[in-house]
Structure 1
């Protein structure tokens, strides 16, 4: 697959179908959840579909299909119009500071790319490691959120394979988290499928009114006089990416085992699976037993706040939680011990914790610099098997697989997906800088035993 190259055929900019309302044209100011993410790379997720079977292929036209995708994307941007905008920086003089906001006017819109590649679905799914060509299924590689001043906040790339179609989205991570991205994709798929039956409404309109801490100023002044004071760009390291599948039976057994070991029923399926990954990856790294290891979890704060935000709240209200232990503790104790440690980190981060974190940031704003957070003793878990990725069909039926781009990845990055068959099954993508770590993981007894359960 290394010889395969993606060829871009056409590029368009897509604007909302209708003119924006006066309210939608107002500057959209970011929250303390969003502004720290200016250095975070664009999020890249996509779906691989099979083309219609030969018996139906004479009725399938890629030209007509692309036209339908563009028209339905324009209609979707009526609802998610923020994604058609650009970032703007306004410099304040007294005190000297930056104000960064989103402007929905005078923007060319979201980007839409059509590309082709001489590859098949099996070329993508059969190799043990994710082929490098998948990275070219996404636009805006190497872009960070701050680049939204000049680059689109959303870029869709439709790549036609010999027997398939890949729809990949690159979205500004300061503007939207995974929940919001898959909400957008679901709405786009809904409008696409409705065709002539679409009359301007969708089943789940996004909630665009932003959350503010009581008494806080909606306009945040960042304590900078030039973007060089906070901007950081890191070159993604060379990585091997491999998928592992946990059947619903495997997930259920892991959850039961973790709860049984702790004499509780509170540990979730996801916590049990992540605990297994944390233990197994830590073992194969052969770290000193007295060293500290951590498992970092990306979590949504929508339901942690009181009152809670809607699941349809559009934005990036996320936090990074951490379970920590010494290597000796993690490997000497069982699955339940590790899972309950993660469980406690999750349940202890509540409305009070979220608001205290936001209040602290408002007092001393900072922009995340990933170079200051590199730690070879941790795993970082992103995305979620609870996202309804396979509900987004775009007229092609259920996707055969979900994949991600190469941004926001590093050694020990784990990306979670729902299993295609549903039922609580999960797919896990694990990134390692070392091929030896992948081979060692496939020999880790606890890990392989969990995969074998059917």
Structure 2
């Protein structure tokens, strides 16, 4: 899109095809090409012999809607991202004024490339994310301070190892289903994307991006 004072570039992709890591790898590689790079610095890996390349095909009945499934970070210490997630979980749950005995769920999308054994290429191009559900009683989550929720999120992320990743794929292949979106039970939250992606300082070689000096 051409603007009065420059060019606006937009891009979108279906999450069934790629995840955020692949998307931003593509976008940042595009900036290299526009600057005239003769060689891509981080070549994407298009290998399709991985646990995430299933042969299972979703088959939808003509008259019925698709079946929905029921309702990364550093793994050495609690990260600021995990702490932020815990704060959001507590704050949103409190604002919803839910019954103390109700179960609340906080889902986090995680990159599985480094969790597999052997590890996937960091530049594997495709979708290599899974959703980690974290469960807590509303009363318990709110009765404790933020560190309690952060520790719960951290523990579940650390536990999501090679075995868990492969088990998740196996379970899905045994019962193919779409990933649930929304908040069907009124007590769920899903955290997506990641602050680690290079989003705001892409250099296309066309001059400094407007507002980039403020980032």
**CA, structure 1 residues 285+183, in 2 after alignment: closer, same or farther (shift >3 Å)?**
same
Cα contact 2:24–2:197 (8 A) shared by 1: yes
Equivalent-residue separation in structure 2 for 1:228 and 1:376 (angstroms): 29
Give the structure 1 partner of residue 95 of structure 2.
Answer: 284
Looking at structure 2, the residues matched to 291 and 219 of structure 1 have their Cα atoms a distance apart, in angstroms, of 36
**Residue 184 of structure 2: aligned partner:** 374
Tell me the equivalent position of 2:71. Answer: none
C-alpha distance in 2 between matches for 1:311 and 1:396: 29
Q: By how many angstroms is 1:315 displaced? A: 0.3
SS in 1 for 2:48: coil
- 1:385 aligned partner: 195
Alignment of 1:32-431 (within 5 A): 158=1, 160-163=2-5, 165-194=7-36, 198-199=37-38, 201-213=39-51, 220-222=55-57, 224=59, 228=62, 232=66, 266-362=77-173, 364-368=174-178, 370=180, 374-394=184-204, 395-398=206-209, 400=211, 421=215
* CA deviation map 1:11-70 (0-9, x unaligned): xxxxxxxxxxxxxxxxxxxxxxxxxxxxxxxxxxxxxxxxxxxxxxxxxxxxxxxxxxxx
Alpha-carbon distance, 1:393 to partner: 2.6
**CA contact 1:390–1:399 (8 Å) conserved in 2:** no
**What's the CA shift string for 1:189-211, capped at 9, x where partnerless?**
111112xxx33x20011000024
Distance in structure 1 (CA, Å) of the matches to 2:190 and 2:183: 11
Q: Distance in 2 between matches of 1:351 and 1:203?
A: 28
Seen in structure 2, the aligned counterparts of structure 1 residues 365 and 399 have a Cα distance that, compared at 3 Å, is farther
Q: Aligned pair in 2 of structure 1 residues 317, 227: CA closer, same or farther (>3 Å)?
A: farther
Give the count of matched residue pairs. 205
Q: Return 5+ residue gaps in structure 1 as ranges.
A: 1-157, 233-264, 402-419, 422-454
SS of the residue 1:330 aligns to: helix
Deviations 1:71-125, CA, capped at 9 Å, x for gaps: xxxxxxxxxxxxxxxxxxxxxxxxxxxxxxxxxxxxxxxxxxxxxxxxxxxxxxx
1:183-237 CA distances to partner (integer Å, 9 max, x unpaired)? 000000111112xxx33x2001100002424xx9x7724363x5637765xxxxx
User: Kindly tell me: are residues 391 and 210 of structure 1, through their superposed partners in 2, closer, same or farther at Cα, counting changes over 3 Å?
Assistant: farther
SS of the residue 1:299 aligns to = strand
> In 2 relative to 1, CA 278–164 (structure 1 residues): closer, same or farther, beyond 3 Å?
farther
Which of the pair has the greater relative contact order for Cα pairs under 8 Å at 6+ separation? 2
* Cα drift, residue 371 of structure 1: 6.7
With structure 2 as the length reference, what TM-score do the two structures score? 0.84
User: Once the 2 structures are TM-superposed, how far is the Cα of residue 372 of structure 1 from its aligned partner?
Assistant: 8.8
Two-structure CA RMSD over aligned residues (Å): 2.7
Distance change >3 Å, CA 228–CA 309, structure 1 → 2:
same
